[in-house]
Every structure is written in C-alpha cells, then in structure tokens.
C-alpha cells in the first residue's frame, strides 16, 4: 500500500483532497467565541446556507468531509454534544440527514474515554447517499465506565428495539433505533436514556 502524506488546511477551498471511501476524524472543537476573524469567515464560507448563529468549527470539517466523500462513503467523527442539540446547527443537521444520513449518533457522557476534553463528546457516523431507514442512538451517562459499557454493548449488538431501550432505562447507558422520520421529527439529535 502506498501512502502519501500532505500537510494542508482541510478547509482551504484550494485544497482538493482525494475522496476516501471511509473518513475517520476528530476535528478541532472551537466555539464561535474562540475563533479568530479569519476562522469565522472560513466557517461561514464552508457552511454556506447552513450557517446560523454561532456554530462550532467542527461542523465545517464534517461538512467538507461529506462534500468530498463519494456516494457510499462513510464519515465517522467525534463532535461536541452541543452540535447535536444546538439550534444553530438545526439546518445543518437537516441537510446531513438528506445528504449523508446518520447510521449512528452517540452521546458519551462518561469522561473516562476523553479525560482531557473540555466539552461533552458525541460520535456521529454518516453514510453519504444512503437511503437510511433507521439510526442507532447511543446514550451513556456520566457514571464512570458507562461509555465503555455502551461501546461494548454496541459491538455485541444484533438489533436493539423498543424492548431493549426499556430494559436499559435503569442502566447508565442505552442503545435504541429511530426511524429516519422519527429522527427528523425531533428538535435535536441528542440521544436520551429512553425513547
């Protein structure tokens, strides 16, 4: 396998990376208040008509990854939880649902996985061009070990339905499915302990 490494600004419109079938990323999380004037301009340009309020820089990285992904490409990313719930990201989430429907949305409340993160971390897996019928929702509480336990359950998972979500309510984590219409009807993409 030949590997070519190149250092570049992923958000620079002049940078034209080769499309990848799978993109795994942990983009920088930067709130609007922490962005420089140039970063704010760049974020506005990348988000285009999806720009609202005070977006997080990580949204631009996801947007760019989806834009360069081929049909059938998968993007897996970590994000601040606020991007799943914030009104500023509602239009952006709606476009993602149409362009690259989410396969998985996770809220990882337990900080043991990301000890040095200054925000609550979410996981998002998108499937460009898919006609997604359902999204797996994963929620873990702030209880130590909850995120790890939920990730192990996700790896063992066959198909979580309503009965599994009911059972998990007393657990510090939950995994359940939402149909694409149920997801679009919700004001946020934030997973919850139960349905």
For residue 84, give the nearest of 64, 58, 110, 65 by alpha carbon: 58
Is 181 in contact with 98 (CB distance < 8 Å)?
no
Cα 72 to Cα 100: distance, rounded to the nearest angstrom: 9
Please give the C-alpha separations between residue 125 and each of 65, 84, 97, in angstroms, as whole numbers.
12, 13, 11
Question: In the chain, pLDDT over 70 holds for what percent of residues?
Answer: 87
Question: In the chain, pLDDT over 90 holds for what percent of residues?
Answer: 54
Please say if the pLDDT value at position 128 is more than 50.
yes
Please say if the pLDDT value at position 120 is more than 50.
yes
Please say if the pLDDT value at position 86 is more than 60.
yes
Cα 140 to Cα 125: distance, rounded to the nearest angstrom: 17
Q: Residue 115's pLDDT is what?
A: 65
Q: What is the mean pLDDT of residues 91-102?
A: 94
Higher pLDDT, residue 110 or 36: 36
Looking at every residue in the chain, the average pLDDT score rounds to: 86
Residue 60 CB contacts under 8 Å (≥ 6 apart), including other chains: 11, 27, 42, 43, 46, 47
Band of residue 82 on the pLDDT scale cut at 50, 70, 90:
very high
Supply φ then ψ for residue 78, to 5 degrees: -100, 150
Cα 101 to Cα 189: distance, rounded to the nearest angstrom: 12
**Regarding beta strands 22-25 and 74-80, do their DSSP bridges make them parallel or antiparallel, or are they unpaired?**
parallel
Q: What is the mean pLDDT of residues 136-161?
A: 82
pLDDT digits (tens, 9 = 90+) for 13-29: 788 777 788 999 999 98
pLDDT digits (tens, 9 = 90+) for 25-46: 999 988 899 999 999 999 999 9
Higher pLDDT, residue 159 or 140: 140
Please give the C-alpha separations between residue 95 and each of 49, 66, 72, 90, in angstroms, as whole numbers.
10, 11, 17, 9
Check the CA dihedral 78-81-86-88 and report its sign. Answer: negative
Q: Residue 114's pLDDT is what?
A: 67
Q: What is the mean pLDDT of residues 115-128?
A: 84
Band of residue 1 on the pLDDT scale cut at 50, 70, 90:
confident
Farthest-apart Cα atoms in the chain, separation = 51
Is 60 in contact with 48 (CB distance < 8 Å)?
no
* 22-25, strands of its sheet edge to edge: 22-25, 74-80, 121-127, 102-108, 134-140, 173-179
Q: What global pTM score does this model have?
A: 0.86
């Amino acid at each position: 396998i030949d590997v070519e490494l190149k250092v570049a600004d992923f958000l620079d419109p002049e940078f034209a990376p080769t499309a990848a079938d799978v993109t795994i990323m942990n983009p920088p999380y930067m709130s609007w208040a922490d962005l420089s004037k140039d970063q704010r301009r760049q974020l506005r340009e990348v988000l285009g008509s999806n720009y609202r309020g005070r977006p997080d820089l990580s949204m631009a990285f996801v947007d760019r990854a989806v834009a360069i992904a081929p049909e059938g490409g998968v993007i897996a990313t970590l994000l601040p939880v606020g991007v799943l719930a914030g009104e500023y990201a509602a239009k952006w989430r709606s476009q993602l649902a149409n362009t690259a429907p989410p396969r998985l949305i996770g809220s990882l409340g337990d900080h043991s996985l990301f000890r040095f993160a200054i925000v609550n971390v979410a996981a998002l897996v998108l499937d460009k061009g898919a006609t997604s019928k359902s999204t797996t929702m994963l929620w873990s509480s702030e209880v130590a070990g909850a995120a790890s336990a939920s990730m192990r359950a996700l790896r063992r998972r066959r198909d979580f339905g309503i009965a599994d979500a009911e059972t998990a309510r007393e657990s510090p984590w939950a995994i359940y499915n939402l149909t694409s219409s149920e997801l679009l009807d919700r004001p946020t993409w934030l997973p919850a302990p139960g349905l």
